Chains A and B, each alone.
Chain A
Amino acid sequence: MASSQHVLLSPAELAYLHASLSLAPPIRPDGRSPTQFRPLVAETGILPGTNGSARICFADGTEAIVGVKAEVERTAQRSGDETVFLEEGGAGGDDDDEEEEAGQGLEKRKGDASWVEMTVEIPGLRDDDSGTAFLAAMLSEALLADGGFTKRLWINRRFHWKLYLDIILISPPLSYPLPLLSLTTHLALLSTRLPRLKSEGDEDPFFDDDWAAAPYLFPRTSSTNIATAKSTTPAAAIRPPITLLVMAVGNNIIFDPSKEELAVADVALAVSVTGSSPSHYAATGTGEEAGRNLRLLSIRTVDPPSRLTPPGLANAANTAYGPSNGTMGTQKMAEARAAETEAAEGVWRPPRGGAKRMVLGALVQKVLERGGVVDEVLDALEGVDSG
Chain B
Amino acid sequence: MPLDTSTYNLALLRVDGRRWNELRRVHAQIRTQAAADGSSYLEMGHTKVMCVVTGPSEPGPRRGTGGGGAGGGGAAAGAGAKAEVVVSIVIAGFSSVDRKRHGRGDKRTLELQSTVANALAASLHTHLFPHSQVNISLHVLSQDGSLLAALINAATLACVDAGIPMTDYVAACTAGSTSTYAANDEGADPLLDLNHQEEQELPGLTVATLGESDRVVVLVCESRVQVSRLEGMLAVGVDGCKQVREILDRVVREKGRRMVQEGTVEKGIGLNEMDVD
Contacts and interface: CB of A to CB of B under 8 A. Distances in A.
B95 A170 contact: no
Contacts of B52: 123, 170-172
B215 interface: no
Nearest to B51: A170
A164 B93 CA distance: 8
B255 to A, nearest CB: 17
Interface string B94-109: 1111110101100000
A124 B63 contact: yes
A71 B33 contact: no
Contacts of B104: 126-127
Interface stretch (A62-70, A86-94, A297-305, A368-376): A62-70
A265 B101 CA distance: 37
B94 A67 contact: yes
A141 interface: no
A7 interface: no
Contact of B90 (A63, A121, A126): A121
A284 to B, nearest CB: 37
Contacts of A57: 33-34
Secondary structure at chain B's binding surface: helix, strand, loop or mixed? loop
B35 A166 contact: no
A68 B54 contact: no
A49 interface: yes
Interface string A156-191: 000000001010101110100000000000000000
Contacts, number: 81
A171 B36 contact: yes
B235 interface: no
B94 A53 contact: yes
A166 B92 contact: yes
Contacts of A168: 90, 92, 139
A127 B93 CA distance: 13
B42 interface: no
A67 B34 contact: no
B97 A123 contact: no
A382 B267 CA distance: 42
Given A119-B101, A164-B99, A67 B93 contact: yes
A57 B32 CA distance: 10
Contacts of A48: 46
B67 interface: yes
Given A67-B141, A68-B94, A69-B93, A170 B50 contact: yes
Given A50-B94, A164-B94, A168-B139, A123 B99 contact: no
Given A127-B104, A170-B50, A171-B52, A61 B33 contact: yes
B35 A171 contact: yes
A146 interface: no
A362 to B, nearest CB: 33
Contact of B36 (A49, A61, A121, A166): A61
Interface in B40-95: 46, 48, 50, 52, 54, 63, 66-67, 88, 90, 92-95
Interface string A99-137: 000000000000000000001010111110000000000
B88 to A, nearest CB: 6
A224 B159 CA distance: 47
A182 to B, nearest CB: 18
Interface residues of A, number: 30
Interface string B134-155: 0001010110000000000000
B92 A123 contact: no
A46 B41 CA distance: 13
Contacts of A123: 52, 88, 90, 137
A377 interface: no
Contacts of B67: 124
B99 A171 contact: no
A170 B48 CA distance: 14
Contact of A49 (B50, B88, B97, B137): B97
B35 A172 contact: yes
Contacts of B63: 124, 126
Interface in B112-167: 137, 139, 141-142
A204 interface: no
A144 interface: no
A125 B99 CA distance: 22
Greatest chain B CB density within 10 A among A46, A50, A119, A170 is at A170
Given A62-B35, A171-B33, A127 B137 contact: no
Contacts of B141: 46-47, 65, 67
A60 interface: yes
B25 to A, nearest CB: 14
Given A69-B94, A124-B67, A170 B103 contact: no
Contacts of B98: 71
A208 to B, nearest CB: 19
A66 B34 CA distance: 19
A46 B141 CA distance: 10
A229 to B, nearest CB: 31
A306 B54 CA distance: 27
Interface in A268-317: none
A333 to B, nearest CB: 37
A170 B139 CA distance: 7
Contacts of A69: 93-94, 99
19 contacts: A46-B141, A47-B142, A49-B94, A57-B34, A61-B36, A65-B141, A69-B99, A71-B99, A119-B101, A123-B52, A124-B63, A124-B67, A124-B88, A164-B99, A171-B33, A171-B35, A172-B35, A172-B54, A172-B137
Given A46-B141, A61-B36, A126-B104, 20 more contacts: A49-B46, A49-B96, A49-B97, A63-B33, A65-B141, A67-B92, A68-B94, A69-B93, A69-B94, A119-B93, A124-B67, A124-B88, A125-B66, A164-B99, A166-B92, A168-B90, A168-B139, A172-B35, A172-B52, A174-B35
Interface of A: 46-50, 53, 57, 60-63, 65, 67-69, 71, 119, 121, 123-127, 164, 166, 168, 170-172, 174
